[in-house]
Amino acid sequence: MWRKDQVRYGMVIDVDKCTGCGACSVACMSENNVGVLHDETDKIKSITWLRVYQIDNGKPFPDTEVAFFPRPCMHCQGGESGTPGQGFFQEDTDPDAAHTPCVSVCPATATDYDDATGIVSQIPTRCIGCRYCVAACPYHARYFNWYDVPWPKGTPRALSPFVSPRMRGVVEKCTFCYPRLQQAKNKTFLDGSEVGEMDYQTACTEACPSGAITFGQLQDPGHKVHKLIKTDHAFRMLEKLGTNPKVYYTSKRKWVRMLADNHLSQAKAAKAAASGGH
């Protein structure tokens, strides 16, 4: 079923462990040279590759419960997928029948689905800034550079040399820290081994103090993520749309799982509540 040279990297985020501290976001910004703008309070024009959403169960005190959804790029594959818990991550066996929402729409081939890793790449120097991909992504994982980053004097020297900073007018997003995979491959090339689970970990995974983020190969039985996505509490965001994402979440709380997708019963209940509880 799987070609040996094809792997599928994915992430599992334990919502019940996430404290919403934001260390993952900070690590991500630092790793990937995401700049700080003059006005970072304008969240719909600023850039956060890994955004942490705060959600609650909508109930009044003292029944209020809060949870956090860290949201990187989902690295969607699209097409027919296996259900979470059914086994490992599956994708459509016909690559022509499946397409990532953002990759298929880009006119300039500035974003691509890598068949070897399942990672959705972004080539900022190729991007023309039409923002069609931003419109196509339901997770708001894609960010447009509305401003030039005002790097304070001296700070460019502290940037990571492995990730090129982006210019105004292009789209960027989480790449699962792809340069780290390249570095891992370089290392294994030299000592003749294969890229192991711990050779390639994203910055957010390493930074999470509560160990809520797990990263690895979804279809490799030796990796932790492979076991985690089989559990009963694993789910993905907006499962119904058929985006077939490679970022999974787990939570034992039902209301959290319910909030990850749109449900007709939920919508009807909200409507009934709005019209006076009929």
Residues at the interface with another protein (CB under 8 A): 44-45, 53, 55, 69, 78, 99, 101, 104-110, 126-132, 134-140, 142-148, 167-171, 237-238, 240-243, 259-264, 266-268, 271
Nearest-approach distance from CB 189 to another protein, in angstroms: 23
Q: Measured from the CB atom, is 48 or 219 closer to another protein?
A: 48
For 70, phi then psi, to 5°, come to -70, 135
242: exposed, middle or buried (C-beta count within 10 Å: 0-12, 13-18, 19+)? middle
Tell me the closest approach of the beta carbon of residue 95 to another protein, in angstroms.
11
**Closest CB to another protein among 217 and 250?**
250
Task: Report the Cα–Cα distance between both ends of the chain, in Å, rounded.
Answer: 51
Identify which of residues 59 and 140 has a Cβ nearer to another protein in the complex: 140
**In terms of CB distance, is 70 or 216 closer to another protein?**
70
Task: Give the chain's radius of gyration (CA, Å).
Answer: 19
Shortest Cβ 34–another protein spacing (Å): 14
Min dist. Cβ of residue 94 to another protein (A):
14
Q: In the bound complex, what is the minimum distance in angstroms from residue 108's beta carbon to another protein? A: 4
d(CA 270, CA 53) in angstroms, rounded, equals 21
Provide φ and ψ at 97, rounded to 5°.
-85, -20
Alpha-helical (H) ranges within the chain are: 23-31, 132-136, 178-191, 203-207, 224-228, 254-258, 264-274
Q: In this structure, are residues 80 and 61 in contact, taking their beta carbons and an 8 Å threshold?
A: no
Nearer to another protein, 207 or 247 (CB): 247
